[in-house]
Amino acid sequence: MIKILSMNNFQELRNIIKQLRSENGCAWDKEQNHKTLLPYLIEETYEIAHAIEENNPDALREELGDLLFIILVYLEIAEEKKLFFVQDVIKKTAEKMISRHPHVFSDKKLETSAEVLNHWHTLKDKERKEKNISILDNTPKNISALVRAHLIQKRASRVGFDWKEPIKAFSKVKEEINELEEHLSNLKDSEKIREEIGDLLFATVNVARLLKIDPEISLHEAVEKFIKRFHYIEKTITEQNKTLHESSLDDMEKLWQKSKNI
């Protein structure tokens, strides 16, 4: 018989995870490790983002629960291997938050969000210096390349390595477009073309960042717009008792242009 958890009973959830990974637990759960769980961790994060975009509190509650569960499994695996313990994580995080919020937990004056962020970054840069690591190190490789490019550029910008104005960054976009166009005359040189497309995307992220536009959100909106317009093409062609394969590119292009006015 399934026991219903009491409200806010964190330990009971941890006990469930321990049982799932025990000798008589679930075969799948027992096989998991920090690496195999990574795709699920990333997936849950994106599902949380989707729930927020949809303004769906019920979905958000559920997805946050799923993410919490995966995090607790990560912690359980760490304890099993004696890498670290939950108390260590909580203690370290509490110390870090207190240190980075001296305007709340001590008498330091940080009155604006900009001052708070500047203090936060100063402390992080100090930590990197003590560990002898680059300001660009420790950027996660498993996130969207668009997000990572944005993050890398922001870090470089903090030490002054940046374009002064968006229009100057846009000149780099035009330069990359021209270089890509030159290489398109030789489609066999796929490696160079791939490199130039990467440079173009990276330069475009720079422009978006300087305009304070999140490139991931901007691209996401563009994808959604494409889907909406393509749905219109599909719907209209179906109403004409035809299939997409039976329609010419010219026909679809005309419908595409019409979809822009809907």
Contact status, residue 135 vs residue 187, Cβ threshold 8 Å? no
Which of 196, 212, 228 is the last residue before a domain boundary? 212
Structure tokens at 139: 């950027």
Q: Are residues 234 and 179 in the same domain?
A: no
Q: Per-residue pLDDT tens for 172-203?
A: 999 999 999 999 988 888 999 999 999 999 99
**Cα Rg, the chain, nearest whole Å:** 25
Judge whether residue 7 has pLDDT over 70.
no
Residue 236 above 80 pLDDT?
yes
CB neighbours of 213 closer than 8 A, spacing ≥ 6? none
Confidence grade of residue 6 (pLDDT, cut at 50, 70, 90): low
| 77, 57: one domain | yes
Residue 56 inside a domain? The answer is yes
Quick check: is 3 in a domain?
no
* 190 occurs within a structural domain: yes
CB 78 within 8 A of CB 85: yes
Asked if residue 62 is part of any domain, the answer here is: yes
Q: Does residue 5 surpass a pLDDT of 60?
A: no
Domain that holds residue 122: 96-133
How does pLDDT run across 120-136, given as a tens digit for each residue? Answer: 888 887 888 888 888 88
- The answer to whether 117 touches 155, Cβ cutoff 8 Å, is no
Model confidence, pTM: 0.67
Q: What is the pLDDT of residues 56-90, one digit of tens each?
A: 999 999 999 999 999 999 999 999 999 999 999 99
pLDDT digits (tens, 9 = 90+) for 93-127: 999 899 889 889 988 888 898 888 888 888 887 88
Residues 113 and 177 both lie in one domain: no
DSSP sequence for 120-175: HHHHHHHHHHHHT--TTTT--SSS-HHHHHHHHHHHHHTTT-S-SSHHHHHHHHHH
The model's confidence at residue 55, banded by pLDDT at 50, 70 and 90, is: very high
Asked if 203 and 142 sit in the same domain, the reply is yes
Q: What is the mean pLDDT of the chain?
A: 91
Tens digit of pLDDT for each residue in 238-254?
A: 999 999 999 999 999 99
Nearest to 36 by CA among 25, 50, 21: 21
pLDDT at 1: 43
With contact defined as beta carbons under 8 Å apart, do 166 and 212 qualify? no
